[in-house]
Structure 1
Amino acid sequence: MSAAATAAWVGGCVLSGTAGVPSVVGATKTWYRKIPLPTWTPPDRVFAPVWTSLYAMMGLATARVAAASGVSSPVVHFLAHLCVNLLWAPIFFGLQRLRLALLMNVALIASLSVLLGQYGIAAASPSALLLCPYMGWLLFATALNFAICRLNPTARGYNNARWQADLAKLQKRAASIAAA
């Protein structure tokens, strides 16, 4: 396993993990902190270091698998899994589609379960073990997403999160009109 290839996988995963940041930042400034959240919701400052570490471990695990087996089925599976993972933040925070994001989390758990087995076979257990913290966090995030859905029920496709986001947009628009 070359250092350059490992750095590319780790760096690529960490960098790709920043794709959802604009959605998250926008949501935390508008609707997300205005909706009911579970009391056990972690503080915002926890998410960036946790996700950075998880993306780095995903990259390292995939670098090990790629070194052992080349561009194989597990690597392609990981790339597809990563794409779904990267879409989660824009779906949840950007579009306020809480239930769709929950379904995506369930799909990610199923996909990661298969990936753990593939990585264990392709490059021995250390690669699969590198994904275990991600599975733990994904299970926690899914429970959190589920709790947020329960606290913010949907009525005709319009939940409190979407209402808060639309209200924030209207308030911003009204403020700009008043300032003109």
Structure 2
Amino acid sequence: MTGAPNPHFRPTLAAAVCGILVALVSLTGALAPPGDWYATLNQPGGTPPDAAFPIAWTLLYIAMAVAAWRVWRVCGIGHELGLFVLQLALNALWMPVAFGAQALGWALWVIIILWLAVTATLVAFWRADRLAGLLFAPYLAWVSYAVYLNAGLVWLN
């Protein structure tokens, strides 16, 4: 349903809000880093080097913010952005559960629910603005990969 911009849309405000939201979520990595115990765990095959995570997440967060901005531009604040905020909250919850609490089993549940929320957000974004949906697709791929990694950690440890 890609359409004309929302007449009440304020691009600078929306860009700031989208950027701030994803920046706040990104801080959970600093607040709940993996720690020494994580290095002692048996890792599933295909686990990337630690240096890959900040690069991947930076690119994903930028794409997520731009996608949300585009949807806000077309739809205003509606269910699409509600889904976006829901998946951001689940994203923010995963690190403290997995690394802060060292509860990989619970973290697996969180990331499965996150995967469902990201999928629903992608579908809603795609319907609102095709480019926004495309910008969200790499995030779904990364979360799918993260489900595998989290499940592997649970299985192997």
Matched, 1:12 2:17: no
Given the alignment, which residue of 136, 142, 148 partners 1:137? 142
Matched, 1:44 2:68: no
Given the alignment, which residue of 56, 71, 76 partners 1:65? 71
Deviation digits for residues 147-167 of structure 1, max 9, x if unmatched? 111111xxxxxxxxxxxxxxx
State percent identity of aligned pairs.
Answer: 31
1:104 corresponds in structure 2 to: 110
CA offset at residue 8 of structure 1? Answer: 3.6
TM-score after normalising by structure 1: 0.76
1:95 corresponds in structure 2 to: 101
TM-score after normalising by structure 2: 0.87
Unaligned runs of at least 5 residues, structure 1? 153-180
State the 4+ residue runs in structure 1 displaced beyond 3 angstroms.
Answer: none
Residues 14, 56 of structure 1: 8 Å contact kept = no
Matching residue's letter, 1:87: L
Q: Give the root-mean-square deviation of aligned CA atoms.
A: 1.5
> Secondary structure of 1:44's partner?
coil
Unaligned runs of at least 5 residues, structure 2? 1-8
User: What is the number of equivalent residue pairs in this alignment?
Assistant: 148
Matching residue's letter, 1:127: A
CA offset at residue 7 of structure 1? Answer: 4.2
Cα distance in structure 1, aligned partners of 2:44 and 2:32: 21
Residues 10, 58 of structure 1: 8 Å contact kept = no
Residues 122, 133 of structure 2: 8 Å contact kept = yes
Deviation digits for residues 70-103 of structure 1, max 9, x if unmatched? 1101101111110011010000001011111111
CA offset at residue 14 of structure 1? Answer: 2.8
Deviation digits for residues 34-67 of structure 1, max 9, x if unmatched? 1211242111111011111111111110111111
